[in-house]
Structures are given as structure tokens and as C-alpha cells.
């Protein structure tokens, strides 16, 4: 089994840690942007990362918060909703990838979950030449606000049919997005996709989306 490579990601103001799965001959890279109280050790994101790796896509799981910040957030829950900070860090990671010789040639897709999906949207707007595709799983894409109409990367929202609050928000986002987009609703799934087969279906949809869009030239608007 392919083993993850531990990464120390040096940004201007903080050092983050990540795990890189780099299959031989990988032509694309999917960066995971976790949300609400999660981390790179999330079994759900690790499951999806392994699935994408088996399809030949490189994946990067990283922690948006330091260990100290994670301890604070477990008590206050405030940092997971600090979308501007999460976005700044994600943009920093995108710049780190662009400077890393073994990664900079790979088209990048973002896989955002919960509040991390909003950071993915905002980072794609800030770095339109770096992000080729976006997938949101149970994501609070609505928290990206007015930036939604500026997104140019093809965007797929995946949401559970029983996750009614997020489903309603994702439907509004679907109408607000000006880019190529799709909303996929998985029957029987709740917010965490814990029901049998639902997470695997989300992973399959994500894999299909990334494989369809990551190698397309980025079409920037005027």
C-alpha cells in the first residue's frame, strides 16, 4: 500500500503539517480542505484520499490549524468559522505547491468539506490560475458570500438528501455560481455520510469530476 509522505508546510506566519500521497505517474493533485472541528486525520477524508489515490490522483491532506489552535477551537469553536484565516492559509499552501518541484507541474483540485468548502471557493477566486476544479462534500459554500459569482473553476457540490439545512444552502449556491457547476444529492445520506455506501458514492462522484476537469485548460473570464 502506498504510504503517505509527511510534509512540513512553511508559510509566512505559521508551519502546518500534511500528508502527501503521490502515486507513481500521478498527473493531478487534489488538496483536501477540511472544516468544522476536523483535521487531516479525518477518517472520511482519508477514505476519499485513498480512493482517489487508487485512481492515480495525488492527494494532500493538511491541517489548517496548529495543534495549539486545534485545542483552542475544540473549546471555543471559533477558528473553524474564521473563513478569512482559513482562506489565507489555503492560499499559502497553493503557493507552497507552486514552488515545490515535484508538485508544481500538477493541476490542482480542491476538495472542501463543511466550512473548508468556503475557504476552497475563496482561495480559487484569489488564485484562479492555480485551481482547476472544486468539489464540496457537505460544504458550507454559502459562507463564500459574494465571491460565488467570481468562481471560474468548475464546481461540484455533493450533499446528502437528509442533510436538509446544507442541502437548502447548496441549492442557493448552485443558482449563484457563474461557473460550470453541478449539485449532486446522495439519497439517504446525512451530513457526515455515515450511512452504508454514501461516502463511497461521494468519493466516486468527486473522482469523476476531478478526472473530467483537472486536465482542461483554465478558462479565465475577462
The pLDDT-based confidence of 65 (bands split at 50, 70, 90) is confident
The pLDDT-based confidence of 81 (bands split at 50, 70, 90) is confident
DSSP string, 8-69: EEE-SS-EEEEEEE--TT---EEEEE--TT--TT-HHHHHHHHHHHHTT-EEEEE-SS-HHH
Quick one: average pLDDT of 50-68?
91
Residue 143 has a pLDDT of: 95
Residues written for the chain: 222
Cβ distance 58 to 26 under 8 Å?
Answer: yes
User: 37 versus 104: which is more confidently predicted?
Assistant: 104
| Extents of the domains making up the chain | 5-213
Residue 222 has a pLDDT of: 45
161-199 residue pLDDT tens: 999 999 999 999 999 999 999 999 999 999 989 999 999
Q: What is the spatial distance between Cα 56 and Cα 54, in angstroms, rounded to a whole number?
A: 5
DSSP string, 89-153: HHHHHHHHHHH-TTTTTS-EEEEEETHHHHHHHHHHHHSTTTEEEEEEES--GGGGGGGGGG--S
Does residue 206 have a pLDDT over 50? yes
Q: What is the mean pLDDT of the chain?
A: 91
17 pairs with which residues across the strands?
8
Does residue 5 have a pLDDT over 80? yes
CB atoms within 10 A of CB 93: 23
Range with top average pLDDT, 55-69, 113-127, 206-220: 113-127
Q: Which of 208, 155, 216 is nearest to 180 (CA)?
A: 155
Task: Say which residues have a Cβ less than 8 Å from residue 110's Cβ, sequence separation at least 6.
Answer: 30, 31, 33, 90, 120, 123, 124, 131, 133, 134, 135, 153
Q: Which of 169, 175, 164 is nearest to 143 (CA)?
A: 169
Q: What is the spatial distance between Cα 153 and Cα 209, in angstroms, rounded to a whole number?
A: 12
- CATH architecture, range 5-213: 3-Layer(aba) Sandwich (3.40)
Does residue 76 have a pLDDT over 80? no
The proportion of the chain whose per-residue pLDDT surpasses 70, expressed as a percent, equals 92
Quick one: average pLDDT of 126-140?
96
Does residue 43 have a pLDDT over 90? no
Does residue 86 have a pLDDT over 60? yes
Amino acid at each position: 500500500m502506498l504510504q503517505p509522505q509527511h510534509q512540513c508546510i512553511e508559510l509566512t506566519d505559521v508551519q502546518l503539517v500534511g500528508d502527501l500521497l503521490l502515486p507513481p505517474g500521478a498527473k493531478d493533485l487534489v488538496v483536501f480542505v477540511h472544516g468544522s472541528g476536523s483535521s487531516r486525520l479525518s477518517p472520511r477524508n482519508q477514505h476519499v484520499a485513498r480512493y482517489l489515490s487508487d485512481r492515480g490522483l495525488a492527494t494532500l491532506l493538511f491541517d489548517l490549524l496548529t495543534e495549539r489552535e486545534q485545542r483552542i477551537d475544540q473549546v471555543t469553536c471559533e477558528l473553524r468559522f474564521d473563513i478569512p484565516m482559513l482562506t489565507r492559509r489555503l492560499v499559502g499552501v497553493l503557493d507552497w505547491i507552486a514552488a515545490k518541484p515535484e508538485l508544481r507541474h500538477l493541476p490542482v483540485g480542491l476538495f472542501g468539506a463543511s466550512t473548508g468548502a468556503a475557504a476552497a471557493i475563496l482561495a480559487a477566486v484569489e488564485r484562479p490560475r492555480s485551481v482547476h476544479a472544486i468539489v464540496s462534500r457537505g460544504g458550507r459554500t454559502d459562507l463564500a458570500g459574494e465571491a460565488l459569482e467570481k468562481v471560474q473553476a468548475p464546481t461540484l457540490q455533493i450533499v446528502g438528501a437528509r442533510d436538509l439545512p446544507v442541502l437548502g444552502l447548496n441549492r442557493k449556491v448552485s443558482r449563484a455560481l457563474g461557473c460550470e457547476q453541478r449539485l449532486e444529492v446522495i439519497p439517504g445520506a446525512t451530513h457526515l455520510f455515515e450511512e452504508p455506501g454514501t461516502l463511497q458514492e461521494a468519493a466516486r462522484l468527486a473522482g469523476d469530476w476531478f478526472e473530467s476537469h483537472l486536465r482542461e485548460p483554465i478558462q479565465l473570464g475577462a
